[in-house]
Chains A and B, each alone.
Chain A
Amino acid sequence: MGKYHDGAALGVRGCVRCARETAKGSWGATMQLETSRFGSIDVDPNDIITFTQPILGFQDYRRFVLLPGPSSYLKWLQSTDAGELAFIVMDPSVVVPDYAIGIRPAELSELAVTSVDELDVYTLVVVPEDKMKVRTNLRAPVLVNPKLRLAKQALLDHSDYPIQFFLAQPQQGQGQAREASNARSNP
């Protein structure tokens, strides 16, 4: 049970199966990947995203696939190098509608794009036991070139976005709670 069951409960396996049917039709060869969360899944090599710069601390894991998550703005970033390694990523514009990344042209060329608009932007989500502490890292987004399937974790050196942006909604009558707690987390 455990981790595997979480994936199954979310319906991820079902979605992966759907994806597999599509993949069989259009591409043919898929690779088997044993994962700790989703059991054995088929991965289309054409879906693998390669990190030009690693997720910090995970230098040895450069290849990932994006799998459907529990909602349209949450996805799993599953390592294809290690079945037990997966991150939950989200679309940060869901919580910060004007979320904008300022990165140098050199960093864009690393992902073979000329504009940020060509990139898919995700932020890593941390899910501790205490759901009030669920948070996302707005300072170091994962940028993906969806066409060439290149990615990197960018560090926004000159931004004020917090490394820990708490997602929990404030209770009624504490309208400023989220803003206040997020301000505190900003180093």
Chain B
Amino acid sequence: MLVLTRKEDESIMIGDDIEVKVLDLKESQVKLGIVAPKSVAVHRREIYQAIQAENAQAASAAKIDGISNLISR
């Protein structure tokens, strides 16, 4: 892993078109600003992982008999 030290208002470039900037430092939190092309999806890692795990569960559904009955209309 590449490790870089940055101060407030400093940034790093990833390739030519992705910039990650340190906007604010407060106690144990860092606020990051990210400038990236539209095609690059940027998400908090824990949300990303949770959705990926749920997607995997969704793909393994085999028996769906009767699930329509679970939904109240």
A and B co-occur in one complex = yes
Give the chain A neighbours of B44 by CB distance below 8 A.
157
B50 contacts A187, C-beta separation under 8 Å: yes
Contacts A6-B63, A6-B65, A134-B70 given: A128-B51 contact, CB under 8 Å? no
A163 contacts B66, C-beta separation under 8 Å: no
Give the chain A neighbours of B64 by CB distance below 8 A.
6, 10, 69-70, 74, 88, 125, 127
Residue of A nearest to B47 (CB): A155
Residue of B nearest to A129 (CB): B63
B68 contacts A71, C-beta separation under 8 Å: yes
Chain A 39-53 per-residue mask, 1 if CB under 8 angstroms from chain B, else 0 = 000000000000001
Whether A126 sits at the interface, judged by CB under 8 Å, is yes
B34 to chain A, nearest CB (A): 12
Whether A66 sits at the interface, judged by CB under 8 Å, is no
Whether A95 sits at the interface, judged by CB under 8 Å, is yes
B41 to chain A, nearest CB (A): 6
Which residues between 30 and 44 of chain B lie within 8 Å of chain A, taking CB atoms?
A: 38-39, 41, 43-44
A5 to chain B, nearest CB (A): 10
A114 to chain B, nearest CB (A): 15
Whether A183 sits at the interface, judged by CB under 8 Å, is no
Whether B29 sits at the interface, judged by CB under 8 Å, is no
Give the chain A neighbours of B55 by CB distance below 8 A.
55-58, 87, 124, 137, 140, 153
Give the chain A neighbours of B26 by CB distance below 8 A.
none
Which residues between 97 and 137 of chain A lie within 8 Å of chain B, taking CB atoms?
A: 106-107, 109-110, 124-129, 131, 134, 137
A12 to chain B, nearest CB (A): 10
Most buried by A among B62, B63, B71: B71
Q: Which residues of B contact A (CB under 8 A)?
A: 38-39, 41, 43-44, 46-48, 50-59, 61-68, 70-73
Instruction: Supply 21 A–B pairs (Cβ within 8 Å), ascending by A.
Output: A6-B62, A10-B65, A55-B55, A56-B48, A56-B55, A57-B52, A58-B59, A74-B64, A74-B68, A87-B58, A88-B61, A88-B67, A109-B38, A126-B58, A127-B64, A128-B57, A139-B47, A155-B43, A157-B43, A167-B67, A187-B47
Q: Which 4 A-B pairs have the closest CB atoms?
A: A127-B61, A124-B58, A71-B68, A57-B52
